[in-house]
Structure 1
Amino acid sequence: MFKHAITGAIGAAAFLAATPLAAQNITADLDQIAGLLKEEGYQAKIDESEGQRWIESGMSGYTYLILPFGCNDAGEDCKSVQFYVSFVPQTKPTLEEMNTYAAENRFGRVYLDNDGDPVIEMDIDLEAGGMSKELFIDNLAYWDAIMVAFGDFAFSKDPE
């Protein structure tokens, strides 16, 4: 019984060592996420300022950021990422309109920033081993859908 368990463990370790990086779970490592985005055909630029790093990417005509959270003092070993975009419409939605939108839409956290601009964010927990590439891409598709819907809402009162 123990021999099979040990043989299985050794086989599993050998399999993991031989598995390409793309088959490993996605963690809150910005370099890994940027590589995955590029592999999937998206732009991904890692920016840095004052020791903080983030990814700038885009889809469906919008530019958004991927921000790391829960990192150590060196900015590594992060636990989650946040997809973030702020829109600057000519006619900004009211707080009441934002509250109604938030109540009617399940995914994404929305608010008005300090300038009164509408913002939408979506957090992804990648702690405890991360998530599969397929699930990360599925979350990216959710982000695209909620970002586009919120963009339509944010600009809905602007003239065409």
Structure 2
Amino acid sequence: MMLRSACLVAAFGIAVFGITVQPAAAQSVAASDPESVLQAIRAHGHKAKLEHDSEGYPIIHVTRAGINYAVYFYGCDGNPADCRDLQFSSGFDVEPALTDAWANAWNRQWVAGRAEVDEEGDPRLTYFVTTGSGLPEENFREIMQVWDVTLDGFMEDIGW
């Protein structure tokens, strides 16, 4: 009888007040929580290690299929706990040297990522992401997929 009463009360609450049971909140990935970024990168199958630079800002060093890249934290307003943005970055030493014209042409063809060439003609690919107060894990997985495809295309274009 007690169980039946509890079920009736629950049904009444749902019918009258629109009470529903919400699923557990999905984990959020945010630049303000470097550990969440680290775990999301690892969940994508990349080997990653969280470290801090000389000013105390987080940096994640990542290896993916033998290629190294880093994830830098930005938008911190002087406090690492306030970071809101990430920049994925991977640089390569190539011969022959590439030019700014090459980077400009690459940037016109690719929507995601930004190519640049240093003073020695070595290319670097960066990818800027704003996490704000946090992204659902599913959205971050999509960001990782875009980074993977863009990085693969970049490496192919530089002959890596």
TM-score between the two structures when normalised by the length of structure 1:
0.78
Matched to 1:77, the amino acid is: D
User: What are structure 2's unaligned runs of at least 5 residues?
Assistant: 1-15
Kindly indicate whether residue 30 of structure 2 is the aligned counterpart of residue 27 of structure 1: yes
Structure 1 match to 2:64? 59
User: What are structure 1's unaligned runs of at least 5 residues?
Assistant: none
The root-mean-square deviation of aligned C-alpha atoms, in Å, is: 2.1
Question: What SS class does the counterpart of residue 76 from structure 1 fall into?
Answer: helix
Which has the greater radius of gyration?
Answer: 2
Q: Distance in 2 between matches of 1:95 and 1:41?
A: 33
Relative to structure 1, is the Cα distance of residues 98 and 41 closer, same or farther in structure 2, using a 3 angstrom cutoff? closer
The answer to whether the Cα contact below 8 Å between 1:60 and 1:148 also exists between their aligned partners in 2 is: no
Q: Distance in 2 between matches of 1:36 and 1:68?
A: 15
Match of 1:97 among 102, 113, 128: 102
TM-score between the two structures when normalised by the length of structure 2:
0.78
Matched residue pairs, number? 143
Q: Distance in 2 between matches of 1:111 and 1:93?
A: 9
Match of 1:74 among 60, 75, 79: 79
Identity %: 22
Structure 1 match to 2:17? 4
Match of 1:44 among 32, 44, 48: 48
Structure 2 match to 1:155? 159
- Runs of 4+ in structure 1 off by over 4 angstroms are none
Question: What SS class does the counterpart of residue 153 from structure 2 fall into?
Answer: helix
